[in-house]
Chains A and B, each alone.
Chain A
């Protein structure tokens, strides 16, 4: 029995039926292998998933530093999403010198507000927020009760705009919507597309400019990417949304190219910006030394400029020379190890590439809330069946903006470019992996425990919820969401940080004491007499 079957065998018939399609043990096949994804979590099995609100507020709009994000609802949700993502931010010119990221704003609804409606309290809260903080933009994020009691946050947003002359967006991102955070990403991004992107007119100053989509600047990842891009002479117009700002997002449509980091949370925007403004997108990966080099070269290929190409090569040569010794040392300590990664919706793919730089093979990989295209590539999209839960999430269709559309390349030029460069496409995680490896969708606590037992990885990358059970099982754990308060892990310098952290975790002395010697060494056994 292979590891997958050993695992799902422990489930009841009903759960077995559901989970067998979400767990895949890769085989040595030529044809594509498929997996079920983006369906409802099973109640009671300790899914790692969060809710729609977490996706909208926690992930997408929370990092916008000049936006006063007001959580409309009882206090818990606002509190729990306060500073928990480690999305670093620093006030800058685009944000008008403001940074609200360290703040948590909540309407703190009480029982009477639930009974009689909370719109009045929300409007009062907005009035107070405007008076105290003068934000350029207010975003309202709804929690579970809001949709049920009928508060109209969009109407409140409209009235806010009229009353104070600032931008306001109301999000109906109640926790129960969709099946995971993914619904929230979608809802939040729709709002940015509809109300923010395209409203600014500050054109980039440099010849080559990009937006980095789906980079949330955890532990400073975005800053490392920006540093490298700047060195190459490429201007970052905006970052969605790590260290991002409403002020910068407004001008995103003026960039030359979109770079997509987290495909899951943001591919909609990339697609819509292509349709509406004519901006092409490249799936990049700045996690991993080789991956970073490839991403930079792809960008240069796209812009197709001799000077830029020369500059990119110079930067790559220089950066590699600076990290070579460190990387080689860590590689010597790490080669041959095996890893498991459970993350949200993109990192499990990105980090496999970085781990391979150090000679580590990833034998288990899973996502909390990915869709099939994140596993199998975008070619699968036309074949994904819509179910009731997806249908509840609004899809917006955009059309070419005649005033702002600017064709970067003609169809023919793009095709010519396509021979050596994958523009507007993504092949997914599964093609990266090897036969025998396990892929899990919507992993849960039980499966994590079991897979550690059967697959025996040396190190497991996951979140705080799994961290301590992994460690209690005697396996090294590194947090993939907060980096255990370390980072950045992206780009060239990040790779060194990562190598250092993983080496430190695997080789710490504590492991040698965890299993007491008298348990490991065989006791003397003898028989008496003949």
Chain B
């Protein structure tokens, strides 16, 4: 989940340890696994592996029941082992624990010892693997099983001149390639595990229950006598590493290499093998040559790719290296495992990103698909590489997905995926290049047509069914009859390209209602669906607006796609977007052809020196500007952009945030300029101080001051006086944002006179503070239906000097001063004496434990009679 969401995993990018352990043991000859725990574990794992490998998967279970959790599972495991041997005659059995066995503290080693005691002649090697589901992911489980097999095999340390190859989870087809490759180079190797046959079988006239492929337990024992271990994992901990064990116990030297994917990694492997006497054949050289040739051929396509690579850490590293070699910027490298070391990929990715003029990228561990989705949109990903679990994100964002890691559940061929060696790398590279070509093929004709011939959409826009005047008149933010018509803001634009000192863009803040805030960001498809949903609900829905939560034009792809989807469905609704204007000259023509008729541009200054005080930085054409340079670029584009809009006949509203002491004296000039450029109306809004923003402490202009300012400017240009400073996901009429009411599923109560309430709340979500503990109050106005947040008041600000407030009596005076203009105070608990004092001051005291908005509605509606002024 995103950084502030830590307890809820939404769409996991990982599985559990037993899954990995079972997979690894499939690479040992004649081995069957029994999971010690509830039978569901075995069933789930069989189901998932069978779907990926398209092979029968046999995993036994000790089928523990409630009785087993109380009295221990020994009897079940002993029975299970006996039955497994009787029915399948395995040579080796892996006993893997599960969450259940580990939580009740089963001593599996002792149970296995007891089994051998009772069945001295079973002749079966039983491997004990500790694999609690909560102790790691399938990746750790895989290596832990390998380590257990290595430790518990019958060791034979006689030097045998062989090389051990320890592998993470790779496909059977890649394993077959590796064996052939080693043979060609003349390397005598022991693979652990060898999944090449058991998980990718052939059809045979007689079906054998026990698989005959894999590395024999005797060969595993011989690993103790090898001359070198090559471990294809650079992230697994020493305690789970077979190479480290063989080194510490038998002195077998080892080297760790990235999986041989991409030319550098393969070369590194060849180099190590050559040191061990391996021979580079002419055929191998030709394969290498062909791969390099293909890299050259593909570069012009792959350079456009911005990939999200996700999966086990070693897979991610191998794939990231291939991507970087080919100019594919892996802007997101993510794993579900906890693996801080994955960050070591950053320098490599940064070098590639710099070359391709890409600013931003992320390397994330402990990551779920909700987070991956978020970054895919933010970082402009156009290609996903990983397991089929990425398909939901891919479908939602319209991205191609190369399925090349476990699990692949929606395609066939998981067992035949090829990514290793020169031909495997080539396979991956070709798929990436073809994905880019497909993307171009499906979009460029329409783009060219639109750019040079106006396009069908532009033609339609030129002959509007509804005149601009009517659209303006029915637009709640432009027309006079504002209140009766509804608009929907679709939050599809998360990114922003400038930083304003009055803004902190947070993902969500339920108690705030102001521009740039949204509960969630939608994909164009989801936004379209939301539109269709509300279209059915709101008869008076006239306008679709895109107002962030970032900047509509900084996310032009999403904005465009959203509007196209809606236009294809509804030819009438008015399109409106809001922007800071930085990219307006670039997109004005396209906005016109999309049928946008109304645009709001936020123009806070027409003087570079004033602008420099308001904007922290501006990102433009790949460079970050600050100070006056930033303000100058922004201003030039805003002015040119507004002029262009006027030329295209697009109705333009200029928003201006009035910042006390910063630009409030300058706003007259702004409105004057707006008129000169051909804007339709200006909207002067008071600044809402936001905690954490640079202007957090800036005092807010009160209503009187704002009204005066608007009156002044009216001689320049028409003034909007109905602005409600909506959220970026607002729905409904200006006075009734039903997005919030639908979110909390509260039916609209009766409206009454507007009253003011002070709420003791920790978070702004719930009334959850004792009155006496409140250091600050959230102040709201409500008429029983609509609840509007006004401001936060710190009690200390109402003290006469700091020392005073330590004193109880003075603090009380300050509290009273802070809530003096309120009709009621809402708190979790209020003592009798303070409640009485409040009542004496004509303020109702309400003790409640509710969501803030619900509580206020209740107080404003039902209890109206008991309150002051009722």
Query: Does residue A162 face the partner (Cβ distance < 8 Å to B)?
Result: yes
Q: Is the pair A176, B62 in contact by a Cβ cutoff of 8 Å?
A: no
Question: Once the chains are docked, how many angstroms separate the CA of A82 from the CA of B47?
Answer: 12
Least Cβ distance of B852 to chain A in Å?
A: 11
Residues in A neighbouring B59, C-beta threshold 8 A: 46
Q: Is the pair A70, B44 in contact by a Cβ cutoff of 8 Å?
A: no
Complex: chain A residue closest to B336, CB-CB: A75
Question: Once the chains are docked, how many angstroms separate the CA of A449 from the CA of B7?
Answer: 44
Residue of A108, A178, A467 ringed by the most chain B CB atoms within 10 A: A108
Q: Is the pair B44, A144 in contact by a Cβ cutoff of 8 Å?
A: no
Q: Is the pair A45, B15 in contact by a Cβ cutoff of 8 Å?
A: no
Residues in B neighbouring A49, C-beta threshold 8 A: 39, 43, 63
16 contacts between A and B (CB under 8 A): A43-B80, A45-B87, A49-B43, A50-B39, A53-B40, A76-B15, A76-B19, A79-B16, A80-B47, A129-B8, A132-B508, A175-B40, A445-B58, A445-B209, A449-B209, A519-B205
Query: Does residue B392 face the partner (Cβ distance < 8 Å to A)?
Result: yes
Residues in B neighbouring A389, C-beta threshold 8 A: 65-67
- A77-B44, A468-B50 given as contacts; is B6 within 8 A of A124 (CB)? yes
Least Cβ distance of B190 to chain A in Å?
A: 29
Query: Does residue A36 face the partner (Cβ distance < 8 Å to B)?
Result: no
Residues in A neighbouring B533, C-beta threshold 8 A: 91, 97
Within 8 A of B (CB), among A445-484: 445-446, 449, 463-469, 471-474
Residues in A neighbouring B569, C-beta threshold 8 A: none
Q: Is the pair B86, A465 in contact by a Cβ cutoff of 8 Å?
A: no
Within 8 A of B (CB), among A49-108: 49-54, 70, 73-82, 84, 91, 96-97, 102-108
Q: Is the pair A40, B63 in contact by a Cβ cutoff of 8 Å?
A: yes
Residues in B neighbouring A147, C-beta threshold 8 A: 69
Residues in B neighbouring A416, C-beta threshold 8 A: none
Complex: chain A residue closest to B410, CB-CB: A485
- A77-B40, A97-B533 given as contacts; is B743 within 8 A of A134 (CB)? yes
The 8 Å CB contact of A162, one of B47, B51, B849, is B849
The 8 Å CB contact of B41, one of A41, A76, A131, is A76
Question: Once the chains are docked, how many angstroms separate the CA of A77 from the CA of B133?
Answer: 9
Least Cβ distance of A384 to chain B in Å?
A: 18
Query: Does residue A515 face the partner (Cβ distance < 8 Å to B)?
Result: yes
- A48-B43, A472-B201 given as contacts; is B12 within 8 A of A102 (CB)? no
Q: Is the pair A76, B100 in contact by a Cβ cutoff of 8 Å?
A: no
Question: Once the chains are docked, how many angstroms separate the CA of A113 from the CA of B849?
Answer: 29
Least Cβ distance of A368 to chain B in Å?
A: 9
Residue of A12, A40, A176, A446 ringed by the most chain B CB atoms within 10 A: A176
Q: B842-870, CB under 8 A of A: which get 1 and which 0?
A: 00000001110010000000000000000
Complex: chain A residue closest to B850, CB-CB: A165
Residues in A neighbouring B145, C-beta threshold 8 A: none
Q: Is the pair A43, B83 in contact by a Cβ cutoff of 8 Å?
A: yes
Q: Is the pair A44, B743 in contact by a Cβ cutoff of 8 Å?
A: no
Q: Is the pair B205, A515 in contact by a Cβ cutoff of 8 Å?
A: yes
Report, as a range, how many residues of chain B touch the other chain: 35 or more
Q: Is the pair B103, A144 in contact by a Cβ cutoff of 8 Å?
A: yes
Q: A101-128, CB under 8 A of B: which get 1 and which 0?
A: 0111111111101100000011011111
Query: Does residue A209 face the partner (Cβ distance < 8 Å to B)?
Result: no
Complex: chain B residue closest to A110, CB-CB: B134
Least Cβ distance of A309 to chain B in Å?
A: 35
Within 8 A of A (CB), among B183-199: none
Query: Does residue A404 face the partner (Cβ distance < 8 Å to B)?
Result: no
Least Cβ distance of B446 to chain A in Å?
A: 30
Q: B75-104, CB under 8 A of A: which get 1 and which 0?
A: 011011111101100000000001110011
Q: Contact residues of A with B, CB < 8 Å?
A: 11-12, 14-15, 40-54, 70, 73-82, 84, 91, 96-97, 102-111, 113-114, 121-122, 124-129, 131-132, 134, 136, 143-145, 147-149, 162-165, 174-180, 388-389, 392, 445-446, 449, 463-469, 471-474, 514-515, 519
Residues in B neighbouring A388, C-beta threshold 8 A: 67
Q: Contact residues of B with A, CB < 8 Å?
A: 1, 5-12, 14-19, 34, 37-48, 50-51, 54-69, 76-77, 79-84, 86-87, 98-100, 103-104, 132-135, 137, 201, 203-205, 207, 209, 392, 508, 510, 519-520, 529-530, 533, 742-745, 765-766, 849-851, 854
Nearest 3 CB-CB pairings of A with B: A51-B40, A76-B16, A43-B80
Question: Once the chains are docked, how many angstroms separate the CA of A44 from the CA of B124?
Answer: 15
Q: Is the pair B63, A80 in contact by a Cβ cutoff of 8 Å?
A: no
Q: Is the pair A75, B63 in contact by a Cβ cutoff of 8 Å?
A: no
Q: A74-B99, A114-B103, A465-B56 are in contact. List 16 more A-B contacts (CB 8 A).
A: A14-B79, A41-B61, A43-B77, A44-B62, A46-B42, A47-B61, A104-B10, A127-B7, A128-B6, A128-B8, A176-B37, A176-B68, A176-B100, A177-B65, A178-B65, A472-B201
Complex: chain B residue closest to A136, CB-CB: B745
Q: Is the pair B44, A50 in contact by a Cβ cutoff of 8 Å?
A: yes
Q: Is the pair B12, A104 in contact by a Cβ cutoff of 8 Å?
A: yes
Residues in B neighbouring A77, C-beta threshold 8 A: 16, 40, 44, 133
Least Cβ distance of B499 to chain A in Å?
A: 25
- A47-B61, A464-B51, A468-B50 given as contacts; is B15 within 8 A of A105 (CB)? no
Question: Once the chains are docked, how many angstroms separate the CA of A111 from the CA of B140?
Answer: 14
Least Cβ distance of B535 to chain A in Å?
A: 12
The 8 Å CB contact of A113, one of B39, B134, B520, is B134
Least Cβ distance of A89 to chain B in Å?
A: 14
Least Cβ distance of A479 to chain B in Å?
A: 10
Question: Once the chains are docked, how many angstroms separate the CA of A144 from the CA of B44?
Answer: 14
Residues in A neighbouring B742, C-beta threshold 8 A: 96-97
Residues in B neighbouring A467, C-beta threshold 8 A: 50, 56
Question: Once the chains are docked, how many angstroms separate the CA of A147 from the CA of B68?
Answer: 13
Question: Once the chains are docked, how many angstroms separate the CA of A525 from the CA of B15?
Answer: 57
Least Cβ distance of B152 to chain A in Å?
A: 20
Residue of B6, B10, B45, B67 ringed by the most chain A CB atoms within 10 A: B10
The 8 Å CB contact of B60, one of A45, A109, A469, is A45
Residues in B neighbouring A144, C-beta threshold 8 A: 37-38, 98-100, 103
Q: Is the pair B745, A96 in contact by a Cβ cutoff of 8 Å?
A: yes
- A75-B15, A176-B100 given as contacts; is B134 within 8 A of A465 (CB)? no
Residues in B neighbouring A392, C-beta threshold 8 A: 66
Least Cβ distance of A393 to chain B in Å?
A: 9
Question: Once the chains are docked, how many angstroms separate the CA of A165 from the CA of B84?
Answer: 51
Complex: chain A residue closest to B520, CB-CB: A132
Question: Once the chains are docked, how many angstroms separate the CA of A15 from the CA of B135?
Answer: 35
Q: Is the pair A176, B99 in contact by a Cβ cutoff of 8 Å?
A: no
Least Cβ distance of B531 to chain A in Å?
A: 12
The 8 Å CB contact of A54, one of B44, B58, B99, B854, is B44
Q: Is the pair B39, A106 in contact by a Cβ cutoff of 8 Å?
A: no
Residues in B neighbouring A174, C-beta threshold 8 A: 38
Q: Is the pair B83, A104 in contact by a Cβ cutoff of 8 Å?
A: no
Question: Once the chains are docked, how many angstroms separate the CA of A70 from the CA of B81?
Answer: 35
Q: Is the pair B56, A472 in contact by a Cβ cutoff of 8 Å?
A: yes
Residues in A neighbouring B743, C-beta threshold 8 A: 134
Q: Is the pair A41, B39 in contact by a Cβ cutoff of 8 Å?
A: yes
Question: Once the chains are docked, how many angstroms separate the CA of A102 from the CA of B18?
Answer: 24
Residues in B neighbouring A121, C-beta threshold 8 A: 7
- A42-B79, A96-B745, A468-B56 given as contacts; is B63 within 8 A of A125 (CB)? no
Question: Once the chains are docked, how many angstroms separate the CA of A510 from the CA of B778?
Answer: 72
Residue of B69, B79, B87 ringed by the most chain A CB atoms within 10 A: B87
Complex: chain B residue closest to A469, CB-CB: B56
- A45-B83, A76-B133 given as contacts; is B205 within 8 A of A128 (CB)? no
The 8 Å CB contact of B65, one of A131, A176, A445, is A176
The 8 Å CB contact of B7, one of A125, A145, A178, is A125
Complex: chain B residue closest to A520, CB-CB: B205
Question: Once the chains are docked, how many angstroms separate the CA of A70 from the CA of B820?
Answer: 44
Residue of A47, A104, A121, A392 ringed by the most chain B CB atoms within 10 A: A104
Question: Once the chains are docked, how many angstroms separate the CA of A149 from the CA of B765?
Answer: 31
Least Cβ distance of B219 to chain A in Å?
A: 26
- A104-B10, A144-B98, A145-B103 given as contacts; is B744 within 8 A of A134 (CB)? yes
Residues in A neighbouring B86, C-beta threshold 8 A: 11-12, 15
